Amino acid sequence: MASKAFDMFCHQVCSVIRWKPARYAAWAELDAHLEDHAAVLEEQGVPPEEAARRAVEAMGDPYKLGHQLDKCHSPLVPRLSRIFALLALSVLLLSLVIGLRAGTGIFALTGLSPKTGPLPHDGYGTLEISGTATGGGGLSGYQLASAGEAGLVLVSMSYPGEETLREYQLQCPLIITRRQFWQPPMNFLRTEVSWTDDAGGSGSIRTSSVVRHALLGSVALLEIKDPTPGARQFTVTLSTLALLAALFLLWVSLERPMPTIALACAQAGPANGFTGGEVVASGPVRLNKAQPDTDAWAVLRSGDTYAVASLKRTAGLLWTVPGYDLHVLSWMDEYTLYPWRVAYTPYSYLDDSNPSGLFPEIRSELIPLAICTDPAVTRVEGEFLWLGRWEDPQEALADRGVSISWSSAGEGVWVGAPVTSPTPALPDGSGHSGALSIWLRGYDAAGNLVCSYDPTEDRE
C-alpha cells in the first residue's frame, strides 16, 4: 500500500518535469526520501499505511514540487550542449578537410623528426658551389643545429615583359628542435642574423621562413643573398640583442671561392692563351641607345702583354666571361698607345627621314678604351668614326668625327664615354660600309704630345 502511494506521488511530480533524464533521477530520489520518512514514523509506532500517508503529505503539493524541479532541470541546457557539441564536431571535421586539401595543420607535418632535402631548396635554382656547415646553438628554449651542408645557389627569376633577374644565394639548412614537446614551432622569420666572411664582407639578414615542420621539430633555411665575391669562409651569429639570451655560431665553408671579376678573368685566361694576368682597370657597361649583351669590361696585364675581357653579371656582384670574350692584344709591343672597344652593339637608328621605321638605319654604339704603355702619359684625346676605304681620312674626320670624352680607369688605361657614328654610304649607293676607326693622342703632365695612334697608317 505504501509503495502504491509513493508511486502515485512520484508519478504526479515527474509528470511536469520536461527533461526525461531528470524524471528518473527525481523519481528515485523522492521514493528514497519517502521510504526513509515512513520508516522513521513506523519506528515511533505509527501504522505503515498511516506512516506512508503522513510521509506523502509532508512532501506537499506534488505538481508544485514538480514545477520547481523542472526549473532546476530545464531541458534547454542539455539541448544547447548537444547543439554546441554538434557544431564543435562540425568545425573539427571542416578543419580536417581544409587542412587535408591545403596541406596545413597536422597535414603539414613532414614526419616525426625534421629532415632536410638536397640543395637547392625545393629544387629552385642551380647549385653552383657545394659546401659544408658546422655549429649551432640555443635560442629561447629551442635548439638550432646545422644540417651539415651548404651551397651557393644561382636563382633566376623571370617576369613577363621584363628581363631575367639573377641572384646568388648562400643557402644553409638548419634543424630546429624544441626542448619541451608542447612548445609551438619556432618563428625563425623574426630572427636577425649577422655574418662575416674571409673576403672582408659583412652584413645582417633576416632568416627565411621555416620551410618544413615535423612533430618533433622544424627545418629552416638560412639565406645570404649576393654574398661577397671571392669569399669562401663564412661565420654566422645571431644579432647582438639575441646573443644576450642565446649562443649561436655557425661556420660555412665552400669548396671554392665565389667568382669575382678578377677570378672570372683568371679562369677565362688560359682558355684564350693568356695566363698570370692581373686586372689593372675595369668598369661597367652602360650605353645610351643600344642594349649591350655584357655588363662590365676589364683590362688585364701580364708583363708587357695586355688582354681585354667582356664580362656578364650572373648574379649580384658575381661575374663570368662568356666564351671568346677575352681578347689578347698580342700586337701591343708594336704600339705605345693603342685603342680598343667594348660593348660593340648595333641598334636601329630612326630619324625624321624615316618616321615609319620600316627600313631603319643600323648603327652601332660602343665604349672606347685607350691603353698606353708609356708612364709619362697622363691624358689622352681622340676621335671616332666609321671610315670608308674610298674616303679621305681628314675630310671624314672633319665631317663626321666624334670627339671622345676620356677618363682615367686605371694605370695606363682610359675609358671613353659611349659613342656612335653613322656608317658612310657606298659611292654607288648600294649600301653602307666602313671600318671602325679611333685616333688617339697621349700627353704628359705639361701638355706635351708624347705618343699617338693613327688607324690609317697601315691603310693600303
Q: In this predicted structure, what is the pLDDT of residue 207? A: 60
459 assigned to some structural domain: no
**Last residue of a domain, which of 219, 254, 289?**
254
114 assigned to some structural domain: no
Half-sphere exposure of 112 (CA within 13 A, CB side): 0
Which residues, listed in sequence order, are joined to residue 380 by a DSSP beta bridge?
442
Q: Which of 128-132, 362-366, 414-418, 430-434 has the lowest mean pLDDT?
A: 430-434
Report whether pLDDT(163) > 70.
Answer: no
Q: Which residue has the cell 669562401?
A: 232
User: Nearest-5° angle of CA 441, CA 445, CA 446?
Assistant: 95
115 assigned to some structural domain: no
147 assigned to some structural domain: yes
Considering the domain architecture, whether residues 355 and 311 belong to the same structural domain is answered as yes
Average pLDDT (311-323) is: 70
Instruction: Write out the three cell numbers for 208.
Output: 627565411
As for how many domains the chain has, the answer is: 4
Which residues, listed in sequence order, are joined to residue 305 by a DSSP beta bridge?
302
Considering the domain architecture, whether residues 312 and 440 belong to the same structural domain is answered as yes
Specify the CATH number for the domain of residue 231.
2.60.40
Report whether pLDDT(402) > 90.
Answer: yes
Amino acid at the residue 132: T
Considering the domain architecture, whether residues 58 and 88 belong to the same structural domain is answered as no
* CA proximity to 221, closest of 193, 241, 240: 193
Report whether pLDDT(162) > 80.
Answer: no
Considering the domain architecture, whether residues 167 and 232 belong to the same structural domain is answered as yes
Average pLDDT (430-450) is: 90
Distance, CA of 254 to CA of 234 (rounded, Å): 9
Considering the domain architecture, whether residues 410 and 434 belong to the same structural domain is answered as yes
> Three-class SS of residue 368?
strand
Average pLDDT (175-190) is: 65
Considering the domain architecture, whether residues 222 and 244 belong to the same structural domain is answered as yes
Model confidence pLDDT, tens digit, residues 22-78: 777 888 888 888 888 888 888 888 888 888 888 888 888 888 887 787 787 776 666
* CA proximity to 282, closest of 306, 299, 304: 299
Asked if residue 455 lies in contact with residue 388, where contact means CB atoms within 8 angstroms, the answer is: no
Q: Residue 51 belongs to what domain range?
A: 2-74
Model confidence pLDDT, tens digit, residues 235-279: 888 654 444 444 567 788 888 777 777 777 777 777 777 877 788
With cut-offs at 50, 70 and 90, classify the pLDDT of residue 211. Answer: low
With cut-offs at 50, 70 and 90, classify the pLDDT of residue 108. Answer: very low
208 assigned to some structural domain: yes
Distance, CA of 69 to CA of 129 (rounded, Å): 81
**Can you state the percent helix, strand and coil of the chain, rounding each to 5?**
25, 40, 35
Handedness of CA 375, 376, 377, 379 (dihedral sign): positive
- 380 or 289: which leads in pLDDT: 380
Considering the domain architecture, whether residues 57 and 14 belong to the same structural domain is answered as yes
Which residues, listed in sequence order, are joined to residue 170 by a DSSP beta bridge?
152, 224
Asked if residue 279 lies in contact with residue 300, where contact means CB atoms within 8 angstroms, the answer is: yes
Considering the domain architecture, whether residues 249 and 328 belong to the same structural domain is answered as no
Q: In this predicted structure, what is the pLDDT of residue 4? A: 78
Q: Whole-prediction pTM value?
A: 0.53
Considering the domain architecture, whether residues 195 and 289 belong to the same structural domain is answered as no
What is the torsion angle, in degrees rounded to the nearest 10, for the CA atoms of residue 262, residue 263, residue 268 and residue 274? Answer: 60
Considering the domain architecture, whether residues 290 and 411 belong to the same structural domain is answered as yes
Considering the domain architecture, whether residues 95 and 67 belong to the same structural domain is answered as no
Distance, CA of 157 to CA of 166 (rounded, Å): 6
Asked if residue 192 lies in contact with residue 214, where contact means CB atoms within 8 angstroms, the answer is: no
Q: In this predicted structure, what is the pLDDT of residue 331? A: 67
Residues near 130 by beta carbon (within 8 Å), at least 6 away in sequence: 119, 149, 150, 151, 254, 255
Q: What phi-psi label fits residue 133: left (phi over 0), alpha (psi between -120 and 50 degrees) or beta?
A: beta
Average pLDDT (341-369) is: 73
**Residue 423 DSSP label:** P
371 assigned to some structural domain: yes
Dmax (CA) for the chain in angstroms is 154
Instruction: Write out the three cell numbers for 329.
Output: 692584344
Handedness of CA 29, 32, 38, 43 (dihedral sign): negative
Query: Residue 15 phi/psi, 5° resolution?
Result: -65, -20
Q: In this predicted structure, what is the pLDDT of residue 1? A: 47
Distance, CA of 358 to CA of 361 (rounded, Å): 10
Report whether pLDDT(303) > 90.
Answer: no
458 assigned to some structural domain: no
Average pLDDT (410-415) is: 92
> At 69, which helix (H) or strand (E)?
helix 62-72
Considering the domain architecture, whether residues 283 and 432 belong to the same structural domain is answered as yes
Distance, CA of 295 to CA of 367 (rounded, Å): 12
* CA proximity to 386, closest of 447, 441, 335, 341: 341
Helical H segments across 103-235, by residue range: none
327: number of Cβ within 10 Å: 15
113 assigned to some structural domain: no
